[in-house]
């Protein structure tokens, strides 16, 4: 028995760690240590049950989470173990496909297409069809493609060597684009993120022996953030756990923030019905926040109806009340925030990196950044431009990919970068020949490089370089190969001439990350495997090691914690987002409330909510978020002038926007606290009474005064009404 894996766990965490057999659901509230429970359970299964890591699948929602979990597992059970199955859904699918995609007539070196690659394919199709984005933007078209792929049956058509794709003249344009897209994808053996799941799904459905192999292999399955699983992910996990029936799912329905892109929290909520033998363990002790912050979170999330009831508690020390700052305008708001930040640094010796500024939509970073720059406060934006989607990184990756797969996308990216005089006309020539002769663009160039058309180009040098490393790459490490390729192709020189220091820094950071990766896996890193892994990492940004304030959207902040949190730009219409409300009505209102809950529960010591008056981007007047008033008013300290008239306007604004405030508290103006049903009150004329009913819509209390037969309707904003 290895005791250290249970050290420092509370009773319920220990129960979660040691309950290894059967179906188990852990409802883990914010900051309750679910990462700790998951990692220690993994270590417990390895150390105390003697199970090999290759038999344990641990699925996380993001790459960041899987990296963190691997690190923690290694620190518990040593670095020698293979933690390859601690991975995301997509990472797991890549693993399955590398082993078994040959059943679908695809090579194991299939390439993974990120959004940029998908757009490159669309660009080509638009060019060929002579249409522009006036027909439909790439983003919209990609959405259509994604919704077409909701049904994985298309995989059977795409992978059938005998199937023909109809792209004839007379067919409907959208369908034609779709078919051309699938065809081009197939030509490069490219799988986008949806395909990864769908191909795996079809592989399991159509090839019983493959499913059987993985079912037998995976004795234990753990899934983190289960509330954010989509239907396909849910089905996949159910399929996989069907033989050994050891499935452990962890989640928090209150933190579901991805319903808008397919998350289905009901699978978690109804997990016990799907698996009647399921045990449920609730982790309700919060280790992260002060009781004041936790109370604010609890008080808000209570307004949601779709949830598993749980009240989080904490034994942490008391701290400061949460502050709501109301500014007269945007500059006012950010000025207050920067003053507060300086104060935290000076008076509480806070480091800048202890401070996070969160916001609902990324455009809000503009006014925040301006304020920080004005005050000379260093900051870093997280999750902005994705590191691996930057041009220089994509170029470098394309050189590597060309060596392995010689695919058209990589070819187009680098054949003329740096300039080799292979411009539009020559590319057109290559494309036409390739189509006619059913060759890749690279092979076409190889075939026709001697043609007079290429006389004044550097086509031959380019081919010689790629051919050389096609022969030699297996003898080099990935980092060596990349270094040589970029040097000899002239790409390094091209970047230096371009002179953008950021790009140069990014590229050296990229080298650094490959070297670190090579060292971390401790065995030889294969180029094709690396390329598949790295493409999945498109959502992980470069870590910034400077001491700087962290700026990010609430979505990016999910799963993170910071000592001091500012939630800025908390204007109604932004949070809750009016666009989401228009699209998904009440469901969106609950999701937006959960988003606010996620933001609040990121804070350890102090939490500040700020917003300001003025005009929104659309030119309409800004009002404070309705969520601010849904929080029990005595839990929040309000700073700044929220005048009665303005306050009444905001209430009317929210009422006019169809979606009402939560059904508990009535928003009341500064210094007054909420009156619930049963509250004793005093009226200057009617005397003492008791609140019997509340009409939220009309902002009216119905009060039974002593000696009166019926209740009196008293306006919630009436200043004369006092608590007794």
Q: CB-wise, 33 or 327, nearer to ligand ATP?
A: 33
Q: Counting contacts by CB under 6 A, is residue 316 touching ligand ATP?
A: no
One of 5, 24, 26, 28 touching ligand ATP (CB under 6 A): 28
Contact 101, 196 (CB under 8 A): no
Q: Counting contacts by CB under 6 A, is residue 559 touching ligand ATP?
A: yes
One of 5, 16, 27, 36 touching ligand ATP (CB under 6 A): 36
Which phi and psi angles does 202 have, rounded to 5°? -65, -40
One of 5, 23, 27, 32 touching ligand ATP (CB under 6 A): 32
Minimal distance in Å, beta carbon 602 to ligand ATP? 7
Cα gap 436→430, rounded to integer Å: 10
* Interface of this chain with ligand ATP, residues 106 to 135, rule: CB under 6 A: none
Q: Counting contacts by CB under 6 A, is residue 35 touching ligand ATP?
A: yes
Q: Binding-site residues, please?
A: 28-35
Q: Smallest Cα–Cα separation from 8: which of 290, 287, 291, 293?
A: 287
Q: Counting contacts by CB under 6 A, is residue 33 touching ligand ATP?
A: yes
Q: Binding-site residues for ATP, please?
A: 28-35
Minimal distance in Å, beta carbon 557 to ligand ATP? 9
One of 179, 298, 601, 610 touching ligand ATP (CB under 6 A): 601
Minimal distance in Å, beta carbon 293 to ligand ATP? 12
Q: Counting contacts by CB under 6 A, is residue 554 touching ligand ATP?
A: no
Minimal distance in Å, beta carbon 59 to ligand ATP? 15
| C-alpha triplet 705, 710, 712: angle, nearest 5° | 60
SS3 572: coil
Q: Which residues belong to the active site?
A: 34-35, 224-225, 255, 602
One of 154, 287, 313, 382 touching ligand ATP (CB under 6 A): 287
Q: CB-wise, 3 or 645, nearer to ligand ATP?
A: 3
One of 6, 10, 205, 563 touching ligand ATP (CB under 6 A): 10
- Among the residue ranges 34-42, 347-355, 446-454, 621-629, the one whose residues contact ligand ATP (CB under 6 A): 34-42
Q: Counting contacts by CB under 6 A, is residue 307 touching ligand ATP?
A: no
Q: Counting contacts by CB under 6 A, is residue 62 touching ligand ATP?
A: no
Q: CB-wise, 222 or 457, nearer to ligand ATP?
A: 222
Q: Counting contacts by CB under 6 A, is residue 605 touching ligand ATP?
A: no
Q: Counting contacts by CB under 6 A, is residue 297 touching ligand ATP?
A: no
- Among the residue ranges 4-12, 49-57, 620-628, 700-708, the one whose residues contact ligand ATP (CB under 6 A): 4-12
DSSP 199-228: HHHHHHHH-HHHHHHHHHH--EEEESSGGG
Tokens standing for residue 637: 């300290």
381: left (phi over 0), alpha (psi -120 to 50) or beta: beta
- Omega prior to 576 cis, within 30 of 0: yes
Binding mask 560-599 for ligand ATP (x = CB under 6 A): -x--------------------------------------
Minimal distance in Å, beta carbon 258 to ligand ATP? 14
Cα gap 530→523, rounded to integer Å: 12
Cα gap 252→37, rounded to integer Å: 14
DSSP 246-264: -EEEEE-GGG---GGGT--
The residue to which tokens 């690659």 are assigned: 117
The residue to which tokens 């994808």 are assigned: 185
Minimal distance in Å, beta carbon 301 to ligand ATP? 12
Q: Counting contacts by CB under 6 A, is residue 312 touching ligand ATP?
A: no
Q: CB-wise, 38 or 158, nearer to ligand ATP?
A: 38
One of 2, 4, 8, 505 touching ligand ATP (CB under 6 A): 8
Q: Smallest Cα–Cα separation from 34: which of 1, 69, 63, 62?
A: 69
Minimal distance in Å, beta carbon 37 to ligand ATP? 7
One of 12, 25, 34, 401 touching ligand ATP (CB under 6 A): 34
Minimal distance in Å, beta carbon 598 to ligand ATP? 7
Tokens standing for residue 83: 């933690």
Q: Counting contacts by CB under 6 A, is residue 313 touching ligand ATP?
A: no
Q: Closest-CB residue for ligand ATP?
A: 33
CB count within 10 Å of CB 523 equals: 7
Tokens standing for residue 665: 């508290």
Q: Counting contacts by CB under 6 A, is residue 31 touching ligand ATP?
A: yes
- Among the residue ranges 32-40, 71-79, 126-134, 589-597, the one whose residues contact ligand ATP (CB under 6 A): 32-40
Bridge partner list, 609? 324, 567
Contact 104, 159 (CB under 8 A): yes
Q: Smallest Cα–Cα separation from 254: which of 224, 194, 297?
A: 297
Binding mask 491-510 for ligand ATP (x = CB under 6 A): --------------------
- Among the residue ranges 26-34, 152-160, 623-631, 688-696, the one whose residues contact ligand ATP (CB under 6 A): 26-34
Tokens standing for residue 649: 């306007």
One of 187, 288, 307, 394 touching ligand ATP (CB under 6 A): 288
DSSP 113-139: --HHHHHHHHHHHHHHHT--TTT--HH
- Among the residue ranges 8-16, 355-363, 428-436, 705-713, the one whose residues contact ligand ATP (CB under 6 A): 8-16
Cα gap 282→298, rounded to integer Å: 16
Minimal distance in Å, beta carbon 33 to ligand ATP? 3
- Among the residue ranges 9-17, 116-124, 210-218, 521-529, the one whose residues contact ligand ATP (CB under 6 A): 9-17
Minimal distance in Å, beta carbon 668 to ligand ATP? 30
Q: Please enumerate in sequence order all residues whose Cβ is within 8 A of that of 8, keeping only pairs 6 or more positions apart, or say none.
A: none
Q: CB-wise, 285 or 457, nearer to ligand ATP?
A: 285
Q: Return the half-sphere exposure (C-beta side, CA atoms, 13 A cut-off) of residue 571.
A: 22
Burial classification of residue 19, based on how many CB atoms lie within 10 Å of its CB (0-12 exposed, 13-18 middle, 19 or more buried): middle
DSSP 469-536: HHHHGGGS-HHHHHHHHHHHTTHHHHHHHHT-HHHHHHHHHHHHHHHHHHHHH-SPPPHHHHHHHHHH
Q: CB-wise, 26 or 393, nearer to ligand ATP?
A: 26
Minimal distance in Å, beta carbon 309 to ligand ATP? 17
Which phi and psi angles does 719 have, rounded to 5°? -70, -20
Q: Return the half-sphere exposure (C-beta side, CA atoms, 13 A cut-off) of residue 712.
A: 19
Q: CB-wise, 326 or 593, nearer to ligand ATP?
A: 593
The sign of the dihedral angle between the CA atoms of 190, 193, 198, 204 is positive
SS3 326: strand
Q: Counting contacts by CB under 6 A, is residue 251 touching ligand ATP?
A: no
**Count of residues of this chain found to bind ligand ATP when the rule CB under 6 A is applied:** 19
- Among the residue ranges 25-33, 101-109, 315-323, 572-580, the one whose residues contact ligand ATP (CB under 6 A): 25-33
- Among the residue ranges 7-15, 441-449, 477-485, 619-627, the one whose residues contact ligand ATP (CB under 6 A): 7-15
Tokens standing for residue 549: 């304030």
Q: What is the CA radius of gyration of the chain?
A: 29
Cα gap 254→302, rounded to integer Å: 10
Q: CB-wise, 72 or 302, nearer to ligand ATP?
A: 72
The rounded Cα 180 to chain-centroid distance in angstroms is 30
Q: Please enumerate in sequence order all residues whose Cβ is within 8 A of that of 400, keeping only pairs 6 or more positions apart, or say none.
A: 478, 481, 482, 485, 527, 531
Residues that bind ligand ATP (CB under 6 A): 8-10, 13, 28, 30-36, 252, 255, 287-288, 559, 561, 601
């Amino acid at each position: 028995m290895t005791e250290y894996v249970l050290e420092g766990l509370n009773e319920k965490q220990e129960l979660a760690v040691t309950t290894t057999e059967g179906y188990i659901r852990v409802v883990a509230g914010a900051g309750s240590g679910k990462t700790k429970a998951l990692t220690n359970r993994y270590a417990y299964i390895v150390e105390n049950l003697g199970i090999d890591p290759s038999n344990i699948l641990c699925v996380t929602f993001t790459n960041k989470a899987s990296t963190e979990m691997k690190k923690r597992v290694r620190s518990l059970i040593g670095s020698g173990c293979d933690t390859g199955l601690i991975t995301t859904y997509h990472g797991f699918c890549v693993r399955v496909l590398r082993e078994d995609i040959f059943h679908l007539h695809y090579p194991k070196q299939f390439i993974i297409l990120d959004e940029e690659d998908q757009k490159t394919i669309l660009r080509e199709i638009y060019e060929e069809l002579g249409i522009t984005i006036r027909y439909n933007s790439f983003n919209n078209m990609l959405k259509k493609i994604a919704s077409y792929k909701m049904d994985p049956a298309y995989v059977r058509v795409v992978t059938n060597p005998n199937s023909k794709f109809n792209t004839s003249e007379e067919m409907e344009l959208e369908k034609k684009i779709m078919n051309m897209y699938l065809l081009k994808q197939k030509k490069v053996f490219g799988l986008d993120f949806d395909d990864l799941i769908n191909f795996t799904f079809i592989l399991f459905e159509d090839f019983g022996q493959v499913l059987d192999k993985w079912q037998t292999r995976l004795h234990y399955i753990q899934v983190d953030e289960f509330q954010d699983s989509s239907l396909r992910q849910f089905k996949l996990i159910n399929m996989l756990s069907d033989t050994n029936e050891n499935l452990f799912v962890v989640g928090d329905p209150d933190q579901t923030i991805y319903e808008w892109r397919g998350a289905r929290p009901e699978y978690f909520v109804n997990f016990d019905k799907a698996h009647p033998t399921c045990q449920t363990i609730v982790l309700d002790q919060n280790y992260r926040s002060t009781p004041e912050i936790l109370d604010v979170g609890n008080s808000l999330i209570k307004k949601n109806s779709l949830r598993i009831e749980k009240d989080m508690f904490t034994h942490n020390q008391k701290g400061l009340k949460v502050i709501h700052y109301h500014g007269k305008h945007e500059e006012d708001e950010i000025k207050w925030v920067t003053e507060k930040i300086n104060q935290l640094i000076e008076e509480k010796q806070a480091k800048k990196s202890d401070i996070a500024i969160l916001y609902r939509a990324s455009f809000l970073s503009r006014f925040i950044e301006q304020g920080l720059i004005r005050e000379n406060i260093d900051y870093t934006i997280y999750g902005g431009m994705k590191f691996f989607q930057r041009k220089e990184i994509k170029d470098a990756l394309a050189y590597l990919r060309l060596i392995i797969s010689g695919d058209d996308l990589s070819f187009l990216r680098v054949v003329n970068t740096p300039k080799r005089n292979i411009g539009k006309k020559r590319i057109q020539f290559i494309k036409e020949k390739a189509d006619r002769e059913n060759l890749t663009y690279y092979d076409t160039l190889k075939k026709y490089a001697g043609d007079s058309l290429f006389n004044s180009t550097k086509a031959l040098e380019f081919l010689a370089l790629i051919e050389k490393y096609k022969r030699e790459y297996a003898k080099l490490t990935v980092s060596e190969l990349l270094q040589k390729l970029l040097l000899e192709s002239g790409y390094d020189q091209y970047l230096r001439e371009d002179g953008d220091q950021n790009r140069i820094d990014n590229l050296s950071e990229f080298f650094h990350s490959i070297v670190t990766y090579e060292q971390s896996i401790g065995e030889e890193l294969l180029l094709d495997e690396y390329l598949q892994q790295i493409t999945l990492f498109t959502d992980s940004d470069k870590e910034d090691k400077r001491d700087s304030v962290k700026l990010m959207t609430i979505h990016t902040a999910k799963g993170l914690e910071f000592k001091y949190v500012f939630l800025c730009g908390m204007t109604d219409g932004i949070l809750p987002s009016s666009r989401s409300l228009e699209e998904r009505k009440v469901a969106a209102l609950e999701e937006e409330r959960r988003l606010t809950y996620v933001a609040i529960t990121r804070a350890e010591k102090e939490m500040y909510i700020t917003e300001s008056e003025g005009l929104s981007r659309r030119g309409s007047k800004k009002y404070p978020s309705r969520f601010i008033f849904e929080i029990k008013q005595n839990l929040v300290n309000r700073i700044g002038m929220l005048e009665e008239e303005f306050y009444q306007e905001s209430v009317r604004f929210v009422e006019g926007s169809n979606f009402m405030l939560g059904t508990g508290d009535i928003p009341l103006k500064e210094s007054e606290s909420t009156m619930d049903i049963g509250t004793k009150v005093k009226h200057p004329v009617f005397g003492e009474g008791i609140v019997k009913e509340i009409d939220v819509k009309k902002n009216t209390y119905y009060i039974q005064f002593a000696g009166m037969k019926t209740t009196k309707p008293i306006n919630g904003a009436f200043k004369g009404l006092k608590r007794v």
